[in-house]
Amino acid sequence: MADRTDSGARVYAEALHRAAAAAGRVPEVDRDLGEFVQSLAENRQVLATLLNPQLPIDSRKRVIVGMTKDADPLARHAVMLLADNGRLSMIGDMAATFADMAAQEERIFDVEVTTAVRLDSAQAEHIEQRIEKATGLTARIQARVDPTIIGGLVLRARGVLVDASVKRELDEIRRALINTPLPVGSEA
């Protein structure tokens, strides 16, 4: 995620991470930022209102205060700072970058696992254990279902994609069949 993040959002996230680490509140700030972004994702009307340049800053701040009343003060102040500086559109990137920093600090390896069918808890636990053994970090998987991959799985973590899906294998076979020249003199 950090590779595609706005550099301004990274600066805000790094400053917030330093402050949260100094205060010993990284997990709380991470949780509250994540909840704020999730609430914006679930309510597009509030998001559109907060990003509306016609809305006076004081009104924008009242909405933010209402949404973050139970949040850690550092998280609330970070969101307010973005609003004050006209950078509230960066909140998603800032929160994602902060979450990456928090996960690295806590030695957590977040992995998105995509399968053709839903994983049961034993399968998910097995994948976590394999990832933990390979990385030496605590794995935290987010399971997704995409029936178009047919079978196998696709792992995505820290900007790296490992595609072990049946769909990819079939695509490779198809490309090989298309691109392989026939021997001279053969009829096709």
Q: Residues 20-47: what's their mean pLDDT?
A: 94
Q: Residues 178-183: what's their mean pLDDT?
A: 82
Domain of residue 64: give its range.
Answer: 2-104
Strand intervals (E) in 23-145? 108-115, 138-145
Q: Is the same domain home to 82 and 23?
A: yes
Checking if the pLDDT of 175 tops 80, the result is: yes
What the block records as the tokens of 182 is: 């026939």
Checking if the pLDDT of 63 tops 60, the result is: yes
End-of-domain residue from the set 104, 125, 141: 104
Q: State how many domains the chain has.
A: 2
Burial of 30 (0-12, 13-18, 19+ CB in 10 A): buried
- pLDDT tens per residue, range 91-138: 999 999 999 899 888 888 889 999 999 999 999 999 999 999 999 999
End-of-domain residue from the set 44, 70, 104: 104
**Residue of 84 and 182 predicted with greater confidence:** 84
Range in 1-15, 74-88, 119-133 the model is least confident about: 1-15
Contact assessment for residue 86 and residue 52, using Cβ atoms and an 8 Å cutoff: no
Cα separation, 155 vs 164, whole angstroms: 8
Checking if the pLDDT of 7 tops 60, the result is: yes
Q: Which residue has the tokens 């704020």?
A: 36
Please check whether residue 19 lies inside any domain of the structure: yes
Cα separation, 170 vs 165, whole angstroms: 9
Q: Which CATH number goes with the domain that contains 116?
A: 3.40.30
Checking if the pLDDT of 3 tops 60, the result is: no
Q: Which CATH number goes with the domain that contains 18?
A: 1.10.520.20
